[in-house]
Structures are given as C-alpha cells and as structure tokens.
Structure 1
Amino acid sequence: MRVSCPRCACKLGKVDPNFSGHPALCEECGGEFIIPFKDGEGLLEWVKTAPWEHVEEASRSNIGKGHSRQTVSQFINLFEKRREREIWRLERERHGEVLTGRERLWRAIERREEKQKMRAAQVEDLLSLDPVSFERFVAELFNSQGYVAQAVGGTNDRGIDVEVRNSSGDLWAIAQCKRYHQEGRIRARDIRDFAGSFLMCGAEAGFFFTTGYLTKEAKKTAKQFSWLKVYEGTELLDLAEKAEETEMGNKNPD
C-alpha cells in the first residue's frame, strides 16, 4: 500500500497494511500523521477502540480518502460518539463523577431494584414474627415516638393488643395488631369490633395494624371513624422507616 504525507503530499512509498492506524513521521516536513486504511471495514473497527489522540489526529488528515461516501459517513458518526465519551471522561477527571442521562437512569434502576430487594427481605422478616412479637414490634414504634406503650394482648385482651400512654401516664391510644400472611383479609366486622373496644376504653385515638389488607368494605367502614388510623401491608414498614422523623398522627399530649 502506497502512502503519502497528508501535510506535504510527499510520497513515502509502500507501507505494510498491518501498520494502518499507527502514527508515522514524514521525513520531508517532519509532520506526524496516521497511516490510512486500505479497507473501510478496518477503518471503522479501528475508530471504535484506537487511542483517542490517534483518532483525533486521523480526523484532521485525509484518512477517509479513497473510501466510499457511506464509509466516510459511518466514520464521522463513530468519531462523534468517541468525542462525546472523551468529553465526559475529561469532565469526570476534572470535577469528579459526571453522569449522562442514560447513566443516571441506570443508577436509578439499580437503586430501585436494591430497595425492592431490601423491602422484600423486610416483609419476610415481618411476616415471620409470631403474634406476640408482632405486638411488641408495634409497641416499640410508639415508644420510639416518646410514648409509653405496652403489648397487652392475650386471651382476655378485649380487642386491645397495645396500650399507649402519654408522659403523664394517661391512656392516649389503643392499637389492635393482626399479623396475617400478605393475602390475609381484614373485614368490616373486624373494624367494627375494634371500634367497640375503643368506645369502651376511653382512649383518644385508635390504631389498627395488619400485615394483610383491608377489604373494600373494611376501608369504607374505617373512614367513618375520625379517631382511627389504619396501617396495612407494607405501610407498617414505611412507618418504621420514618419512626425517627415523624409522629403517628398526633403529638404526644402532656
């Protein structure tokens, strides 16, 4: 393959095609250039992985000379993609990590998948609790908010599993805890039964916790009681995560 210097057009004679893409030095003008490719396929493969400084130098020469318009167009397209990557690489080196839109999207997906895995493990841990442990878990949520809560469930619990008192020792709220599998249903009569327990105890607020879910009628019934707050399914996990930042409906009354 015969090669000429792109700067001074000096003919350099024959060059082994295996050296295509390598830098060369013209003995006449002293200019450096990239030895061109005879075949377009080799040129396009080279621009994808060659050292960027070589690719940049080649773009300033006549490396596309003798190739078809399609090959030259593909070369320009690949060159622009390489240049964009190099710009981002330099930005990362200068200012730390800089993410493209696509990279940010993948990072967000990875974080969401990781959060889903953690949530699944938390749900499994919650469902593995026996009823007594579940009641104690709920009591601790109230204790973390500055209340004095105690699990009181049992055979004669009158529908009350947790009693919550304020700092003066007065009964502020009661809670019922239903630890079911995720498909366990809470029916309207369960809510009405708890409402009866609430009316008999003299508390100011009531909480209903379940690892299952409320039926449509149960939700409708629960909305009739302004004093009642219901946590179903994974909402209990959300509550646990926010326990240090938020309060469960009301401030602790002194």
Structure 2
Amino acid sequence: MGVSNDSGSPAPDREADLGVGVGPWPGGRAAWPALEGPDGRQRYDPELLEHGDRRNVVDRYRYWTVEAVVADLDTRRHPFHVAVENWAHDMNIGSVVRTANAFAAAEVHIVGRRRWNRRGAMVTDRYQHLRHHPDIGALLEWARTARPGGGPLPVIGIDNLPGSVALEGYPLPRECVLLFGQESVGLSPEAQTAAVDVLHIAQFGSTRSINAGAAAAIAMHAWVSQHVATRSDG
C-alpha cells in the first residue's frame, strides 16, 4: 500500500514554511553528505540540502526525501490501524491522520467519502499510508485477512455509547483497528454492529462528547502506552 495522494484540494509541491527547521546544509555543496543511504537508495534531497528544510518533520529526517522518510517509517510502524468514518466531509480527519503519523500507525482507513479535508494533517499524509473503503462492509472484508499471515484484525469502536466499555484499563489488542465515527453523530449503526467492543473515554465535565480528533489521539496513546516503551524521536 503506497502513500495516498487522494485529497479534497490540490496539494502544494512542498510543505509550507512553518518558521521552523534548518537552513542550507553548512559548508555548501562541497560538504554535502552522500545522497544515497546504506541501501543504495537516494536518502537526501539536493533541493533541501541547498535551500534548507522547513518541513514538519523530526530532526532525524532533516534533508531526507519523502520517499526515504516513508521507507524508514515502514521498518518500524506499529501493528495497529486507525479507521474513521467520513460521511459528511469531517474536518477532523486531518487531525486523526496527523496523530496516526505521530504514533506510527500502520495505516489510516477512510470509510465513506473518498475526499477529505487535508488541512489538519499538516502534510503528514505524505508520510502516512492511507486506504479508502466505500463503506463499513468493505472495511470488514479487508480486516478479515489483514493480519500478517492472513488472519483477522479485531475492530474496536471508540464512542461514548450506552453499554460501551471504559477505554481506561481495557486490554487493547496489539494488532487491531481502532474505529472512530463522524464528529457530532459518532459511530454509525453499522460501525457499532461491526465492532468487537465499543469503548468510551472517561469524561467529568458538562459536554456530551469530546472532539473526534482528540478522542482518536487519546485512544492511540492508550494503545502506545500498553504496547510500546516510552521514547521520543523528536
């Protein structure tokens, strides 16, 4: 599965200058590192080396090509997937993609409309594997054989529904799909039926629900807390 270029609006050729990053490689062209990595593939981008790298990437990937970053991430992505329903062009999907990239999710699955608002992704969709499913049935069909070796991946819904189970303390499977619903309406009835379990996030204030992007971040962090030693690549 490659990196998707599917979007609701044209993508820029380069990421926006966020006022961060690094300038041209010190010492000019004569001091440039070898463009190829140990595997013989091009790792460094000559344009970035010459003009600087202002992308939203950790220092580990400064001056690397997009392809090199993706290839390196592919060696250490985590075995959980994230799926989000997109029936009304949900603006939170971009935020979900950005968080999935931060936690090195295997893939993000867009269920429903193919087009989605990229703005919240902050261009992280270039480095994150994306897959589209026209409906919940198609997602389930994929999940039936998606585990390495051909086994099924359990689908875990996240929504504060009556009868749902608390996320806190729930043993999330190492290999699974975390499924999130549309902002405001939550998981569709089809998604609720498809989920092995539906989990809710503990709340203590007056609001009925928290933002879908925030809920996705909490759930992904819960998975990481259970299955990954704490570290930072920043």
Structure with greater strand share of residues: 1
Fold match by TM threshold 0.5: no
TM-score (norm 2): 0.25
TM-score (norm 1): 0.23
